[in-house]
């Protein structure tokens, strides 16, 4: 297997913060952060999405698995009030068919990642963390404007401009150029607890297997030649 | 009087969003936005600051004064949990003496403006607003990294990178290069309801007159040769 993840190098100084939604990508991203840094803090953000309760449980289990002591859960459910996304607005149907085209999907939450990373940056300034890990992927998620390399580059510039002069905080996106297959293989390589993750956009007990998120995940496992350990309906 | 504010030009198409804390700067910024745009929406953000109740009341009175129908109040009190600022952390004293030096003040909330503007951008994408007004000033607030021109320039690039390709949203900072004296004079010129505003960092009934925010405000009125219409202890 060939990925761009280096995990055997000397662990950098200081603390990292990892955004952990509870999904597979964030779990693999967390596995990478934990393998690289002496201390990793976990941040979970509730933005009023349909499946938040299940995602929070997944976050807590993954944090317990890694023995993470610094945890923060932030509530930005005002995003649901703003609306505009099938993930937070129950009047918009979660799509199960439009994954393949290049349109921005109905599950796009406008500018969402900016809110998540802003919280991480504020927290990083206070606890002195120098790295913010986010499991965004550009390959299978090309429809989301805030999952592109250009966006994260612009955000790193914003951090430089908008924090104390002595502050050094960098966003790290280890999954950015991975396919879902590579995400699965990296997770297995690092013994990430994929059985604890939750990816479904629709359901909270058994994954639906049909929404964009489930289909991408299942495709990743299939192409990796590995069985997805979570139950489907 | 000479300021950089143009208010007599033809009103631009579309909607603007103005961030309105309830303080004097945001009130004058709102007066400018209202004078320029056909429709202005007001956004207020509660970040767990000590004087939030009084600021929210000021926001509501200013919105009523201008007959604003599109209003959003967002709660990001997780910032108080993150801590690190005298505005949100009651273990840190609100300073009354260090205004003049160039240190970053204890009232600095790390990366705060990023959270506020991110909310405005998400809302702007949903309601189709093209302009986000924020009453940041660089002149009297040089200690805050997220009040500088370079920061807003970087944020405008982030918006381009992180929103739908067809989205055009720009941050407008009409007060950025004004002194507090010019802010006061602009407010009076535009008949902004300065008597409805609240600036004090410490108190909720009568302004203290001694915190950084009160002192800057009083200095502005004094230099403008105008009496501040709000009551002090």
Tens digits of residue pLDDT in A69-124: 999 999 998 888 887 655 555 565 555 554 444 455 555 677 889 999 999 999 99
Q: Residue B233 and residue B225: Cα distance in Å, rounded?
A: 21
Residue among A230, A227, A228, A184 nearest A205 (CA): A230
**Does residue A58 register a pLDDT over 60?**
yes
**Span A121-132, mean pLDDT?**
93
Whether residues B104 and A154 touch (CB distance < 8 A) is answered with no
Place of tokens 């631009």: B12
In chain A, what residues touch B162 (CB-CB under 8 Å)?
Answer: 111, 113-114, 145-146, 151, 154-155
B27 in a domain, yes or no? yes
**Does residue A185 register a pLDDT over 60?**
yes
Q: Residue A203 and residue A233: Cα distance in Å, rounded?
A: 10
In chain A, what residues touch B149 (CB-CB under 8 Å)?
Answer: none
A8 in a domain, yes or no? no
A149 in a domain, yes or no? yes
Contact B168, B128 (CB under 8 A): no
Whether residues B72 and A83 touch (CB distance < 8 A) is answered with no
Residues lower than pLDDT 50 in chain B: 1-4, 7-8, 98-102
Of the residues A134, A161, A176, the best mutation for testing chain B's interface (the one with the most B CB atoms within 10 Å of its CB) is A161
Whether residues B162 and A111 touch (CB distance < 8 A) is answered with yes
pLDDT at B11: 60
Beta pairing class for B71-75 and B129-133: unpaired
A1 in a domain, yes or no? no
Task: Answer whether A44 touches B (CB < 8 Å).
Answer: no
Nearest to A118 among B72, B118, B123 (CB): B118
Angle between helices A112-127 and B112-127 (to 10 degrees): 170
Q: Residue A1 and residue B215: Cα distance in Å, rounded?
A: 63
Calculate how close chain A gets to B150, using CA atoms only, in Å.
Answer: 6
Burial grade of B1 (CB within 10 A; 0-12, 13-18, 19 or more): exposed
pLDDT at B86: 55
B179 in a domain, yes or no? yes
CATH number, domain containing residue A105: 3.40.50.620
Question: Does the predicted interface ipTM exceed a cut of 0.90?
Answer: no
Task: Answer whether B144 touches A (CB < 8 Å).
Answer: no
Enclosing domain of residue B133: 15-224
**Does residue A174 register a pLDDT over 60?**
yes
A132 in a domain, yes or no? yes
Of the residues A80, A102, A110, A138, the best mutation for testing chain B's interface (the one with the most B CB atoms within 10 Å of its CB) is A110
Total of domains in chain B: 1
A191 in a domain, yes or no? yes
B67 in a domain, yes or no? yes
Q: Residue B163 and residue A143: Cα distance in Å, rounded?
A: 11
In chain A, what residues touch B84 (CB-CB under 8 Å)?
Answer: 122, 125-126
């Amino acid at each position: 297997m060939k990925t761009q993840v280096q995990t055997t190098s000397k662990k950098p100084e200081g603390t990292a913060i990892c955004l952990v939604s509870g999904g597979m990508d964030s779990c693999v991203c967390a596995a990478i952060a934990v393998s690289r840094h002496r201390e990793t803090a976990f941040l979970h953000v509730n933005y009023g999405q349909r499946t938040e309760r299940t995602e929070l449980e997944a976050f807590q289990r993954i944090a317990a698995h890694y023995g993470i002591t610094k945890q923060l859960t932030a509530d930005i459910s005002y995003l649901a009030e703003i609306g505009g996304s099938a993930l937070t607005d129950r009047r918009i149907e979660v799509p199960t068919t439009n994954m393949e085209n290049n349109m921005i999907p109905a599950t796009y939450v406008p500018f969402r990642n900016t809110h998540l990373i802003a919280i991480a940056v504020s927290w990083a300034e206070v606890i002195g963390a120098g790295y913010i890990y986010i499991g965004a992927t550009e390959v299978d998620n090309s429809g989301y404007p805030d999952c592109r390399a250009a966006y994260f580059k612009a955000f790193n510039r914003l951090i430089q401009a908008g924090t104390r002069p002595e502050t050094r905080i960098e966003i790290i996106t280890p999954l950015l150029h991975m396919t879902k297959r590579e995400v699965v293989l990296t997770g297995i390589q690092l013994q990430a607890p994929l059985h604890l993750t939750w990816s479904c956009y629709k359901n909270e007990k058994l994954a639906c297997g049909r929404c964009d998120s489930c289909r991408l995940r299942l495709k990743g496992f299939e192409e990796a030649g590995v069985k997805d350990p979570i139950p489907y309906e």
